[in-house]
């Protein structure tokens, strides 16, 4: 099917008796970096999202180090655009959701503000990238907080860091699991690009 052919397999655990894959759809990805932040093995990394989506560079918005990935599915569960899928023997299956580690649907509540003086007029990357069409560019940049999912893609792509976003709450059904708590720790709070760049002590 056409949609599936645009999908890319990031990791393929191919065994004689079973095949497990992590598939990624660049078309759906908005480069928000949530998957990069929540991956327990830090196996995902973020490339310049705006440039990638506009086609200026050939790299995808995210990259996977397949050796580190353990196909746990946390990224799949958290991706706001469902750009990631795990398939076991060609059947979509995300164990961490099925087994109650993470919920099916996750939404954020938060605050967003734009420093209009920093916004370079003529750039409308944030409006382009917002899948919810929550950003309107007129005299000022205006965000419709009802539509905003606080995914943070606009913060990532803004060239002059004009957008300040803070997630205040994670809304979902159930689960007080360890992994859920860690996800909350990582995502609740101010959305900062630095948090998605895996800067380690030895760099």
Partner 1 sequence: MNKEKKNEEKEELRIGVYVCDCGSNIAGVVDCAAVAREIEKLDDVVIVRENKYTCSDSGQEEIKKDIKKHKLNRVVVASCSPRLHEPTFRKCVESAGLNRYLFEMANIREHCSWVHPKNPTEATEKAKDLTKMAVAKARKLKPLPKIQSPVINEALVVGGGVAGIQAALDLADMGFKTYLVEKEPSIGGHMAALDKTFPTIDCSICILGPKMSDAGNHPNIELLTYSEIESVEGYIGNFKVKVRKKARYITDECNGCGECWKVCPVITKNEFDLGLGPRKAIYIPFPQAVPLKATIDMNACIECGLCEEVCEREGAIDFKQEDEIIELNVGTIIVATGFTDYDPSGEYGYGEYDNVLTGMDYERLINAAGPTLGNVTRKDGKKPKSIAWIQCVGSRNKDNTHCSNVCCMYAMKEAMQIKEKYPDTEVYIFYIDIRAFGKDFEEFYKRLMNKGVRFIRGVPAEIKETPEKNLKIVVENTILGRVCEYEVEMVVLSTGIMPNTDAQEMQRKLNISRTADGFFMEAHPKLRPVDTPTDGIYLAGCSQGPKDIPNSVSQAKGAAASAAIPMIRGVVEPDSTIASVDLDKCTNCALCAKYCPYNAIVHEKNKPLKIIEAACKGCGTCAAICPVGAMEQEGFTDAQLISEIEAVLEENPEEKILAFLCNWCSYAGADTAGISRFEYPPNVRIIKYMCSGRASARLVDKAFELNAGMVLVSGCHIGDCHYIDGNYSCEERMDKYRKTLEAKAIDPRRFHVEWFSAAEGGEFAEYMKELEDMRKKLQEEGKLTPWKKKAKKKP
Position 9 contacts partner 1 (CB under 8 A): no
Contact 163, 154 (CB under 8 A): yes
Which C-beta is closer to partner 1: that of 164 or that of 175? 175
Position 15 contacts partner 1 (CB under 8 A): yes
Rounded Cα gap, residues 87 and 119, in angstroms: 42
The phi, psi pair for 70, rounded to 5°, reads: -115, 15
Position 70 contacts partner 1 (CB under 8 A): yes
- Please identify, among the stretches 16-24, 48-56, 134-142, 147-155, the one whose residues bind partner 1 according to the rule CB under 8 A: 16-24
Rounded Cα gap, residues 104 and 2, in angstroms: 26
What's the angle, vertex CA 126, arms to CA 123 and CA 130, rounded to 5? 145
User: How many amino acids of this chain bind partner 1 (CB under 8 A)?
Assistant: 24
- What's the closest the beta carbon of residue 15 comes to partner 1, in angstroms? 6
Position 152 contacts partner 1 (CB under 8 A): no
Cβ burial, residue 194 (10 Å; 0-12/13-18/19+): exposed
- Which tokens belong to 79? 């991706």
Rounded Cα gap, residues 39 and 182, in angstroms: 10
Q: Long-range contact list for 144-147, CB < 8 A, 24+ apart?
A: 145/112
Position 118 contacts partner 1 (CB under 8 A): no
Question: Which residues ranging from 17 to 56 are in contact with partner 1 (CB under 8 A)?
Answer: 17-18, 20, 40-41
- Please identify, among the stretches 2-10, 15-23, 106-114, 163-171, the one whose residues bind partner 1 according to the rule CB under 8 A: 15-23
Position 179 contacts partner 1 (CB under 8 A): yes
Q: Binding partner 1 by CB under 8 A: which of 51, 66, 87, 95?
A: 95
Position 193 contacts partner 1 (CB under 8 A): no
Residues that bind partner 1 (CB under 8 A): 13, 15-18, 20, 40-41, 70-74, 88, 94-96, 99-101, 177-179, 182
């Amino acid at each position: 099917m056409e949609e599936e052919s645009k999908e890319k397999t990031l990791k393929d655990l191919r065994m004689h008796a079973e095949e497990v894959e992590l598939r990624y759809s660049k078309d759906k990805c908005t480069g928000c970096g949530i998957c990069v932040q929540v991956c327990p093995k830090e196996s995902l990394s973020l490339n310049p999202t705006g440039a990638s989506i506009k086609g200026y560079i050939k790299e995808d918005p995210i990259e996977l180090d397949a050796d580190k990935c353990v196909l746990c599915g946390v990224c799949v569960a958290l991706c706001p655009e469902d750009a990631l899928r795990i398939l076991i023997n060609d059947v979509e299956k995300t164990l961490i959701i099925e087994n109650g580690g993470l919920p099916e649907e996750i939404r954020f509540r938060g605050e967003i503000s734009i420093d209009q003086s920093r916004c370079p007029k003529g750039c409308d990357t944030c409006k382009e990238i917002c899948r919810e069409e929550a950003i309107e560019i007129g005299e000022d940049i205006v965000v419709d907080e009802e539509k905003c999912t606080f995914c943070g893609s606009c913060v990532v792509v803004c060239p002059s860091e004009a957008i300040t976003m803070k997630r205040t709450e994670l809304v979902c059904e159930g689960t007080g699991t360890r992994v859920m708590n860690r996800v909350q720790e990582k995502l609740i709070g101010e959305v900062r690009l630095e948090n998605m760049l895996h800067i380690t002590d030895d760099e």
